[in-house]
Structure 1
Amino acid sequence: MPALVLLGAQWGDEGKGKATDLLGGSVDYVVRYQGGNNAGHTVVVGDQKYALHLLPSGILSPGCTPVIGNGVVVDPSVLFSELNGLNDRGVDTSKLLISGNAHIITPYNVTVDKVTERFLGKRKIGTTGRGIGPTYADKINRVGIRIQDLYDESILTQKVEAALDGKNQLLTKVFNRRAIEVGQVVEELLGYADRLKPYVADTVLVLNQALEQDKVVLFEGGQGTLLDIDHGTYPFVTSSNPTAGGACTGAGVGPTKISRVIGILKAYTTRVGSGPFPTELFDEDGDALRRIGGERGVTTGRDRRCGWFDAVIARYATRVNGLTDFFLTKLDVLTGWEQIPVCVAYEIDGRRVEELPYSQTDFHHAKPVYEYLPGWSEDITKAKSFSDLPKNAQDYVKALEEMSGAPISAIGVGPGRDETIEVNSFL
């Protein structure tokens, strides 16, 4: 059963789009199974750069069917904007499938997200303000709007009324904002129905039938392991499950169908938003990583916080996801350092800790324990095989592989589609 899960093994922004695109020509379906337009992927094809926020990266691979699963939350206006942008650049988007059970990000979800985050002040989570969290909250509270609701105006109106009963009380009495009108929301949502309809499908059935027919299905996570609502650095996390288990619930495919789980690791570490980050750098090295690596959020436009590679996090990602392989990205960014620190453990209250602490308090106080590996100065962007890399770069990769607990099967040595070394095939 050739089903693969591809996910971020850090705090997101590891280069999942590049990895998915690399596999895109060899797979039949690429499925987004969680998150929304708070997750950005950058894919470079030739001299063309594509920034995707909601659409699966497989939409750029001819012959591949891109799927938005039931676990994703969809902002229709963002979806259509992305589709229009790709169509204008000659990309065929007609094969896209969207689950009718996926929840819609409504205008009031976006409003609640922004005013709540502003209200929190210094305690803010660092959300993108795109309504993702409130939409997932509505889903759990059973007042969410699903795509299939657009095709029954009576049900849609009842659901919007139920959702706004409480939200308008919050907006008017707590945040001193104007109440949102039910009719206005219903009219806006119904305006998306006709254009969405050709894409809407029973994706659970489609994907399971594809696997029964020995089609290759790639499940693509947004964000990263440390942003998982259950297994991440709570509360500074996303509102869904980017970890491997989320692929099963977010796409409706059983765990026995998954044959391989690939974790994407950056050769250093970054994160966007608030929350603990033990290896974060506040010096010229951090500035250099940010500048050379182009570390600016695809979706948010915010500068990413940068730090050295954290093997503790990598081991944790291997464990909670059951990783079978790693794809190491942006190795080229480290070219030029005489020594490269790697975090191998934490010091917490004078104790050496080699596994991720389960206590939020401990993790906030964790200080990195570094080992220093020799760097390299040679340009590696033209390397086509592992043996083409300088010895110190080879040793760095081997050290990260040993520390992280799973084989590194591919290495990114530049942003381009062809700037990748395949050590072992994922298929």
Structure 2
Amino acid sequence: MTDVFYPALFEQKVRRLADGYQKRFGELFEYDIKAELARFNEYRETLKKYVVDGVSFMRSAQESDAKIVIEGANFVTSSSTTLAGIIGGLTLNPRNITETVGVVKAYTTRVGAGAFKTEDTEEIGTKLQEIGREWGTSTGRRRRCGWLDLVVVKYSNSINYYTSLNLTKLDVLDTFETIKIAIAYKIDGEELDSYPADLNILNPAEVVCHEMPGWQKPTTNARTYDDLPKEARDYVEYIEKFVGVKIKYIGTGPDRDAMIQRP
């Protein structure tokens, strides 16, 4: 990032990169270097106030007891979004971490290709897409949807050691008569210990599901845990018992106040 603030050096590096791509792709490579450099001449002053020495900035914030909120989103970055990645990437003192919240939808979604053992490409998946409005706001691209996969959630917890969970979009399940939850994978009838790292094991694995009755009542107006239907509370409590982490927050709608906080 610092190269941007040294115009001559930045231009030299951009031209070197462009020349390399031009030699590789020939006429297929269309790139206006002058226009790109002109854009950065405009951006430079705007960017300057946002660029800091990360180590110094984070040390100062921690020494002043500032509250620091960090959010990681998997499959959209090449960096590590785990707790360990946050500590190393931001030079965060692990002793200063007071809470690690795992945010998980009440069902599972994914964008793009990749493993998704509970994906439903028929009625259930379509219904989750429609009720949950699971499509990109700018592209309109539909997200892949399926039942909640607790094998994945438990695996994520074994990496990040959550202090609590935030279960979002519980209201999307309000109209389902029955609800399934993935609780294990099997290969040749034998249950796997955890989420496999080997795709040759993951791809043919059979999903074991636990089925629960739906509540078929609206939860969008619920503001306390006791406001939820019994079946919804059973769903929440099954998840936290399986994962071994308390669900402290429950989202019941798109509004900011549609969030139940349990003591």
CA deviations over 1:164-219 (Å, ceiling 9, x no partner) = 343223322xxx51353544433332221122223333343233222212221111
Q: Say if 1:321 and 1:288 are closer, same or farther in 2 by CA, change over 3 A.
A: same
CA deviations over 1:118-146 (Å, ceiling 9, x no partner) = xxxxxxxxxxxxxxxxxxxxxxxxxxxx1
Query: Aligned residue for 1:170?
Result: 24
Give the fraction of aligned pairs with identical amino acids, expressed as a percent: 38
Q: Say if 1:190 and 1:349 are closer, same or farther in 2 by CA, change over 3 A.
A: farther
Note if 1:347 corresponds to 2:182: no
Residue 278 of structure 1, aligned match among 109, 114, 117: 117
**1: CA distance between counterparts of 2:62 and 2:150?**
34
Q: 3-state DSSP class of the match of 1:265?
A: strand
Query: Aligned residue for 2:11?
Result: 157
**2: CA distance between counterparts of 1:184 and 1:377?**
57
Deviates more, 1:388-397 or 1:237-246: 237-246
CA RMSD, Structure 1 to Structure 2 (Å): 1.9
Query: Aligned residue for 2:61?
Result: 210
Q: 3-state DSSP class of the match of 1:200?
A: coil
Given that 1:272 and 1:297 are in contact with CA atoms closer than 8 Å, whether structure 2 keeps it comes out as: no
Query: Aligned residue for 1:196?
Result: 47
Given that 2:171 and 2:253 are in contact with CA atoms closer than 8 Å, whether structure 1 keeps it comes out as: yes
Q: TM-score, normalised by structure 1?
A: 0.58
Q: Say if 1:254 and 1:170 are closer, same or farther in 2 by CA, change over 3 A.
A: farther
CA deviations over 1:3-38 (Å, ceiling 9, x no partner) = xxxxxxxxxxxxxxxxxxxxxxxxxxxxxxxxxxxx
Given that 2:21 and 2:29 are in contact with CA atoms closer than 8 Å, whether structure 1 keeps it comes out as: no
Residue 392 of structure 1, aligned match among 231, 235, 244: 231
Given that 1:331 and 1:411 are in contact with CA atoms closer than 8 Å, whether structure 2 keeps it comes out as: yes
Deviates more, 1:195-204 or 1:404-413: 195-204
Query: Aligned residue for 1:25?
Result: none
Q: Say if 1:369 and 1:295 are closer, same or farther in 2 by CA, change over 3 A.
A: same
**2: CA distance between counterparts of 1:357 and 1:260?**
27
**2: CA distance between counterparts of 1:261 and 1:206?**
21
Note if 1:336 corresponds to 2:190: no
Q: Say if 1:350 and 1:406 are closer, same or farther in 2 by CA, change over 3 A.
A: same
Q: TM-score, normalised by structure 2?
A: 0.92
Given that 1:380 and 1:413 are in contact with CA atoms closer than 8 Å, whether structure 2 keeps it comes out as: yes
Note if 1:239 corresponds to 2:93: no
CA deviations over 1:99-126 (Å, ceiling 9, x no partner) = xxxxxxxxxxxxxxxxxxxxxxxxxxxx
Structure 1 unaligned segments of length 5 or more: list them. 1-145, 228-236
Given that 1:343 and 1:370 are in contact with CA atoms closer than 8 Å, whether structure 2 keeps it comes out as: yes
Query: Aligned residue for 1:405?
Result: 244
CA deviations over 1:323-370 (Å, ceiling 9, x no partner) = 111100000110121211110011224332241012121112223111
Note if 1:219 corresponds to 2:70: yes
Residue 362 of structure 1, aligned match among 183, 201, 204: 201
Residue 382 of structure 1, aligned match among 210, 218, 221: 221
Q: Say if 1:181 and 1:297 are closer, same or farther in 2 by CA, change over 3 A.
A: closer
Counterparts of 1:251-262 in structure 2 under 5 Å?
A: 251-262=90-101
**1: CA distance between counterparts of 2:152 and 2:89?**
24
Deviates more, 1:358-367 or 1:394-403: 358-367
Query: Aligned residue for 1:315?
Result: 154
Identify which of structures 1 and 2 has the higher relative contact order when contacts are C-alpha pairs closer than 8 Å and 6+ apart. Answer: 1
Structure 2 unaligned segments of length 5 or more: list them. none
CA deviations over 1:31-68 (Å, ceiling 9, x no partner) = xxxxxxxxxxxxxxxxxxxxxxxxxxxxxxxxxxxxxx
Aligned length: 263
Structure whose CA Rg is larger: 2
Q: Counterpart of 1:177 in structure 2: which amino acid? A: L
CA deviations over 1:66-92 (Å, ceiling 9, x no partner) = xxxxxxxxxxxxxxxxxxxxxxxxxxx
Query: Aligned residue for 2:135?
Result: 296
Q: Say if 1:352 and 1:152 are closer, same or farther in 2 by CA, change over 3 A.
A: same
Q: How far did 1:311 drift? A: 0.6
**1: CA distance between counterparts of 2:37 and 2:84?**
34
